[in-house]
C-alpha cells in the first residue's frame, strides 16, 4: 500500500529542483500499486479535512510514455504542448525527462523558464502574436517562432529581428479530426512563395516548416500527406535561393495507446521516403494529450443528493466549468469509479451492487453543468467519492471561476515509484 510523504525536501530531492507547486507527494512501495490504491490512501489519511476536488498526477505514466516515445520515434524530439495541461509538476517532470516545450503565450513561456529550462528548448508555436508578446520573447531569448502571414513577418522584423521562423502550412483537412486547426492557422501551398520572399526580404531566416493534422480522431495517414507537403515547401525555398531549412515540425494530434503505434509507423516511413537525403534535419513533434491525458486522475466528493423514483441525482464539487469541461465533447468517453467512505473505505462497483440511472451535476448554478446523465451508479451517499480516470488533457487548463467556484482541482498529489528513473539525459 502506498505511503504518503509530505516533506517538501523530499519533493525537491526527487525533482532535482525547487518550486514545484504540488500539494503532496505520494511515493509508492511498488510500481504495482494502482492509482486507486493511492487515492484510497490519500482519502484515508486526510479524511475528513481533505480538500476536494483533488487530482493525482501519476509520474509512472509520464515516464512510461516518454520511454515509448523515444522507442517509437527516436528521431523526433518531443516539444510538449503546454496548453494541454500547464501543471507545473508535470512540466518539471517532462523537463527532467528531456522534453522540450511548445508555448503559445508569455505566461506559458514564463512557467517553463521558471523551472530553469533553457529558452533554446522552447518554440513559440503561435502563428499570430501581439507585438508586446513578441518583445517579451525577444527579452527572454526565445528565438524560434511560427508564422503564416506577411503581417506576422512585419511584426517580428520590428520587434525580434534575430528570431528564426518556422512557416506553418495547412495540410489537407481530415474530417475525422474533432478539432481541425486549418480554419484558423496554416498557409496554403500557393501562398508559400510570397511568405518565403517576404521573410527573406525582411532579413529573417526561415529555418523550417510546421503543420498540425488536427486532434481527437484524425487519421494517422494524414501525417504522410502533411510531411510530403512540407517537403514541397523545403524544395520551394531551395528554388528561391534561400538558406537551407533544417526543422520539420510535425505538430501534435498524438494520443496514448495503439493509435500512437500506427502514427509512429506512418511518420517514420514518410520521413524516410521524403527526407532521406536531407542532412542535419531536425524533426520535432508537439505532443500534449499523449503525455497528459492518462497521467491524471480526478477525485470528487458527493456534496448533494436527490431521489426521484428510480432516478438518483447527485451534486459533486467539480463540474464542466472546472476540471470536467471535456465531458461536453462527444469524443470523450467517461471512465468513472465510486468510493464509499464510512466505517471503512471501499471501492463500490456496478458489479457487486444494485445500480440506478443517475445524473451527476457540478456545483454551479448553471443547469448545463451536468457531468453524467442516465449513468448507472450504485447508491451513493453524502461524502462518497466519484473518481474520473484520464483527466489530464484539456481539463484544468480550461477550468474557470464561474459562479465564484474555483472548482477545478488545484490540489494535485504526485504518485512516483522509486524503482523508476525520472531524470534522463537531456535531449534538447
Residue 371 inside a domain? The answer is yes
Residue 90 is assigned to a structural domain of this protein = yes
User: Which pTM does this prediction carry?
Assistant: 0.89
User: 74: domain CATH number?
Assistant: 3.20.20.10
Cα separation, 280 vs 261, in Å, equals: 25
**Residue after which a domain boundary falls, among 292, 316, 351:** 292
Say if residue 155 is in the same domain as residue 258.
yes
- 307 and 280 share one domain: no
Give yes or no: residues 322 and 219 share one domain: no
Is 244 among the domain residues? Answer: yes
Which of the 8 DSSP states describes residue 334?
P
Distance CA 36, CA 30 (A): 14
253 and 397, same domain (yes or no): no
- Cα→Cα distances 316→4, 237, 328, 363, 396, Å: 25, 56, 16, 6, 16
Is 14 part of any domain? no
Same domain, 113 and 166: yes
Q: Do 103 and 220 reside in the same domain of the chain?
A: yes
Considering its fold, how many domains does the chain have in total? 2
Per-residue pLDDT of the chain (428 residues; tens, 9 = 90+): 444 443 333 344 444 444 444 556 776 556 678 888 888 888 887 666 677 899 999 999 999 999 999 999 999 999 999 999 999 999 999 999 999 999 999 999 999 999 999 999 999 999 999 999 999 999 999 999 999 999 999 999 999 999 999 999 998 765 554 445 556 789 999 999 999 999 999 999 999 999 998 765 567 888 999 999 999 999 999 999 999 999 999 999 898 888 899 999 999 999 999 998 888 999 999 999 999 999 999 999 999 999 999 999 999 999 888 888 887 765 667 788 888 765 444 665 555 678 999 999 999 998 889 999 999 999 999 989 999 999 999 888 877 777 877 756 667 888 877 666 665 544 43
pLDDT score of 7: 35
Identify the pLDDT of residue 418.
Answer: 67
Euclidean distance between CA atoms 89 and 100, whole angstroms: 15
Instruction: Find the CATH number of the domain harbouring 348.
Output: 2.40.37.10
222 in a structural domain: yes
pLDDT value of residue 236: 97
- CB < 8 Å & 24+ apart, contacts of 268-276: 268/73, 268/75, 269/224, 270/223, 270/224, 270/227, 270/228, 271/75, 271/227, 274/227, 274/228, 274/230, 274/231, 275/227, 275/231, 275/234, 275/248
326 phi and psi angles, rounded to 5 deg: -70, -15
147 and 268 belong to one structural domain: yes
- Using only C-alpha atoms, what is the Rg of the chain? 23
Residues 241 and 365 in one domain: no
The whole domain housing 360 covers: 33-59+293-417
* 280 shares its domain with 351: no
Domain assignment present for residue 119? The answer is yes
Q: Hey, is 85 helix, strand or coil?
A: coil
In this prediction, residue 299 carries a pLDDT of 93
Last residue of a domain, one of 292, 310, 329: 292
Residue 363 lies in a domain: yes
Which are the catalytic amino acids? 83, 212, 286
Can you give the pLDDT at residue 181? Answer: 56
Burial of 358 (0-12, 13-18, 19+ CB in 10 A): buried
According to DSSP, the residues that pair with 169 across neighbouring strands are 187
Is 10 contained in some domain?
no
Same domain flag for 121 and 190: yes
Residues 183 and 198 in one domain: yes
Shared domain for 365 and 220, answered yes or no, is no
Among 292, 326, 348, identify where a domain stops: 292
pLDDT score for 214: 79
Amino acid at each position: 500500500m502506498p505511503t504518503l510523504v509530505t516533506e517538501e525536501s523530499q519533493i525537491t530531492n526527487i525533482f532535482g529542483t525547487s518550486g514545484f507547486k504540488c500539494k503532496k507527494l505520494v511515493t509508492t512501495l511498488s510500481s504495482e500499486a494502482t492509482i486507486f490504491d493511492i487515492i484510497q490512501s490519500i482519502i484515508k489519511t486526510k479524511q475528513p479535512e481533505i480538500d476536494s476536488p483533488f487530482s493525482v498526477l501519476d509520474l509512472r505514466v509520464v515516464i512510461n510514455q516518454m520511454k515509448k516515445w523515444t522507442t517509437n520515434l527516436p528521431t523526433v524530439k518531443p516539444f510538449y504542448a503546454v496548453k494541454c495541461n500547464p501543471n507545473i509538476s508535470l512540466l518539471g517532470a517532462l523537463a527532467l525527462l528531456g522534453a522540450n516545450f511548445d508555448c503559445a503565450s508569455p505566461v506559458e513561456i514564463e512557467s517553463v523558464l521558471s523551472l530553469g529550462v533553457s529558452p533554446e528548448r522552447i518554440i513559440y508555436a503561435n502563428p499570430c502574436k501581439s507585438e508586446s508578446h513578441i518583445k517579451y520573447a525577444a527579452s527572454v531569448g526565445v528565438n524560434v517562432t511560427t508564422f503564416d502571414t506577411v503581417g506576422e513577418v512585419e511584426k517580428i522584423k520590428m520587434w525580434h529581428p534575430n528570431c528564426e521562423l518556422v512557416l506553418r502550412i495547412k495540410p489537407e483537412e481530415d474530417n475525422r479530426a474533432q478539432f481541425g486547426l486549418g480554419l484558423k492557422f496554416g498557409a496554403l501551398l500557393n501562398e508559400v512563395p510570397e511568405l518565403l520572399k517576404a521573410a527573406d526580404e525582411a532579413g529573417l531566416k526561415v529555418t523550417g516548416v510546421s503543420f498540425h493534422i488536427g486532434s481527437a480522431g484524425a487519421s494517422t495517414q494524414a501525417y504522410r500527406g502533411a510531411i510530403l507537403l512540407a517537403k514541397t515547401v523545403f524544395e520551394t525555398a531551395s528554388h528561391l535561393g534561400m538558406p537551407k531549412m533544417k526543422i520539420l515540425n510535425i505538430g501534435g494530434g498524438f494520443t496514448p495507446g495503439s493509435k500512437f503505434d500506427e502514427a509512429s509507423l506512418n511518420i517514420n516511413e514518410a520521413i524516410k521516403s521524403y527526407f532521406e537525403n536531407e542532412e542535419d534535419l531536425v524533426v520535432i513533434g508537439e505532443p500534449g494529450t499523449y503525455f497528459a491525458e492518462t497521467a491524471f486522475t480526478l477525485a470528487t466528493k458527493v456534496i448533494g443528493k436527490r431521489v426521484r423514483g428510480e432516478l438518483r441525482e447527485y451534486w459533486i464539487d467539480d463540474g464542466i466549468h472546472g476540471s470536467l469541461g471535456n465531458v461536453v465533447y462527444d469524443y470523450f468517453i467517461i471512465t468513472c469509479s465510486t468510493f464509499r467512505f464510512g466505517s471503512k473505505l471501499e471501492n463500490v462497483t456496478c458489479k457487486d451492487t444494485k445500480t440506478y440511472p443517475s445524473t451527476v451535476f457540478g456545483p454551479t448554478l448553471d443547469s448545463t453543468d451536468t457531468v453524467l446523465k442516465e449513468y448507472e451508479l450504485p447508491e451513493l451517499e453524502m461524502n462518497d467519492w466519484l473518481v474520473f480516470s484520464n483527466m489530464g488533457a484539456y481539463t484544468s487548463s480550461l477550468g474557470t471561476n464561474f459562479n465564484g467556484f474555483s472548482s477545478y482541482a488545484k490540489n494535485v498529489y504526485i504518485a512516483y515509484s522509486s524503482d523508476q528513473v525520472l531524470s534522463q539525459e537531456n535531449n534538447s
